Chains A and B, each alone.
Chain A
Amino acid sequence: MPREMAGRGVSPEEMKAVVVSYDMITAYGRGAGACWDGTMSGRTAVSHFDRFNTQAFQSSSAAIIRGLDYLREDSLVMQMMKQLFNGSAASIPGRSALILATTKGEIDLLERSLLTGQGEASGCNLNNLLQKVSRLAGIKGDGMVISAACASASAAVARAAAMIRSGKHDSVLVVACDSVTEFVYSGFSSLMALDKFAARPFDKNRRGLSLGEAAAYALLMSESRAGKEKRKTLGEIAGWGLSDDANHMTGPSRTGDGLALAITKAMKLAGTDEKDIGFISAHGTGTIYNDAMEIKSFNSVFREKKPVYSIKGGIGHTMGAAGLVEMIMALRALKEKTVPPTVNLEDIDDDATGWVSRRERSIGPDKKALLTNAGFSGINAALVLAP
């Protein structure tokens, strides 16, 4: 079990949840640097792919990671995980708590079982994946899976930060993953949610999202433990808020009140005023309704427009992994004091004018970042990140 801190006096410094290491693999390549450079270049990683037959679907494009073998012994996410933890597990304390965020995990194992008769469909049980990830990362104790649709990773980060803030744990590893499979692709296509080419978040002519795949991890520690172990602090999870629209299973609330509630909760918990927020990493899927809903939420919370961007035009919508990849990019943006451009943005939607940009923008010192995610069932998540 992770080191329990409950029962002894815990100082405010110990309760601060900081990020001490992270890594990722996306369609831009291995590492946060590849994702940052790809996003800053304005080049999209969404392209035509032939992992499975897409003839019957709305699109034949996605942001996939090259070199992964489909329907092989290892699932797609485990192939990503093996690359991700190759050589880095040693720096992760074995007695950390583990939270795994995903929507469909190893669903390709179920596909393989039904298509070829190989393996058991139940092999895709999320607990199995949790155990495999635990072994790869060298975690000795139990962990848990959090699944909150496309807000899974930000919900997991919120719980990890809460576990540290409460003083119950001083080291929590958050891992997030999802892959592009026929199962998921056919589902989004049936919902008419895909852009035929590449997603154009906040664009006047946006038509839908592009699916992407990714795996990422972030190691969170109490500031006290990070200091004792002389770990470099990469940022702080200063606040978080989760909410539900209580409105519709697949469409967001037209008013944006659910996401606004999550943002308000996160800012309150962080003790942050709107003037402290330097930029917003939006969910920005590229669907008509999501992007419109987000801008409405931002308008209802902020009196002044903030720089907003989405990275989904570049790496696609990585579903359960999105929140963690976006958190890592937002921490990088805080460090660089630069707000990335929104990839594929050409003709800015009228409602988004003044919020989003095709170009990178600079931010002032001592600013915080707001990150938002939303998912099916009207689930919303917001994180406030400090440098």
Chain B
Amino acid sequence: MISITGIGWINQQEYGCVMMGIQESYAVDALPKKKIFSHAFKNFGRLDSVSKMTCSAIALALKDAGIDCPPESKRDIGTIGSGSSGSLQSDLDYFRDYLDSGRTLSRGNLFIYTLPSSPAGEAAIHFGLQGPVFYIAGPGNSVATALRTASEIILNNEASVMLAGMTGPDSAVYFVLKKTSDAAGDVLCSYDYAMKVMETNSGLDDMVREFLNSMKGSVV
């Protein structure tokens, strides 16, 4: 069976790990990188805002699932990202910057974030994740589509562990999915339960609250 073994989340004021029961506040524009990332994130400042949120949520999800990702080592974990507006903000930032230069110079460092798959790609590079990486979009709840696809990839033995999640304008949530036996003790909830929560909660914050409440009540 496919289970959720960790959930990491972050918004503009708080971040947390659902299974570990971590929920901490932080001051605006003062992301506590040392607390979130197990090893230093090279050039974190050059990332666009979606990539910063995505990589932070993924760091928290991996920590929640007890997956250690030391630098220079690689592992068979894939990442599916999703979001309501794709790379729109980075598209605007890149093209406005180019227009401001008189349509002569553009910046490669802004251009690379105009790909919707780049935030998940940044996470793959930092954490050494060699599984499938792509961005998924569609009508309705795209995080549910991302989770469903991640589950299919594991069942098809295309990757042993998958990260799937969504980054919105002000928040991000990522899930760790893996194949487990019925008796596995490191499971947060079943894939079916997670999908049920996603179908009934549209906002990321609502979704996280529901998982946190579930943990407290041990209903999973």
Contacts and interface: CB of A to CB of B under 8 A. Distances in A.
Interface stretch (A215-223, A287-295, A347-355, A372-380): A372-380
Nearest to A243: B130
A319 B116 CA distance: 14
B106 A146 contact: no
A120 to B, nearest CB: 10
Contact of B107 (A149, A166, A190): A190
B137 A147 contact: yes
Interface string A133-167: 00000000011111111001001000100110110
A221 to B, nearest CB: 18
A145 B137 contact: yes
A265 B158 contact: yes
A110 B91 contact: yes
B200 interface: no
A188 B107 CA distance: 10
B130 A114 contact: no
Given A191-B108, A244-B132, A166 B156 contact: yes
Nearest to B121: A377
A14 to B, nearest CB: 16
Nearest to B159: A242
A362 interface: no
A168 B90 CA distance: 36
Contacts of B122: 249, 377
B94 interface: yes
Contacts of B185: none
Nearest to A103: B115
Given A121-B88, A126-B86, A246 B74 contact: yes
Contacts of A163: 152
Given A250-B112, A377-B115, A114 B132 contact: no
A56 B103 contact: yes
Given A144-B136, A155-B134, A191-B108, A125 B88 contact: yes
A246 B78 CA distance: 11
Sort chain B's interface into a size bin: 35 or more
Contacts, number: 173
A110 B134 contact: no
Contacts of A188: 111
Contacts of A187: 94, 106, 108, 111, 114
A183 B98 CA distance: 9
A379 B145 contact: no
A224 interface: no
Given A244-B130, A250-B108, A104 B114 contact: yes
B121 A144 contact: no
B220 interface: no
Task: Report which residue of B94, B108, B118, B121 has the largest number of chain A beta carbons within 10 angstroms of its beta carbon.
Answer: B121
B124 interface: yes
A148 B131 CA distance: 13
A111 interface: yes
A11 interface: no
B106 A249 contact: no
B96 interface: yes
Given A103-B115, A125-B88, A146 B133 contact: no
B116 to A, nearest CB: 5
Interface string A253-284: 00000100100010001000000000000000
B116 A147 contact: yes
Nearest to A115: B99
Given A145-B137, A377-B121, A190 B105 contact: yes
A248 interface: yes
Interface string B59-87: 00000000000000010001100000110
A131 interface: yes
A288 B79 CA distance: 28
A91 interface: no
B217 interface: no
Contacts of B91: 107, 110, 121, 124, 183
Given A110-B88, A243-B131, 7 more contacts: A53-B103, A115-B99, A126-B86, A144-B138, A166-B152, A191-B111, A244-B79
23 contacts: A110-B88, A110-B92, A121-B88, A125-B85, A127-B137, A142-B140, A143-B138, A144-B136, A145-B138, A147-B116, A148-B117, A163-B152, A166-B155, A183-B114, A242-B133, A244-B121, A244-B130, A246-B127, A246-B129, A246-B130, A249-B121, A377-B122, A377-B133
Interface of B: 74, 78-79, 85-86, 88, 91-92, 94-96, 98-99, 103-108, 111-112, 114-118, 120-122, 124-125, 127-140, 145, 149, 152-153, 155-156, 158
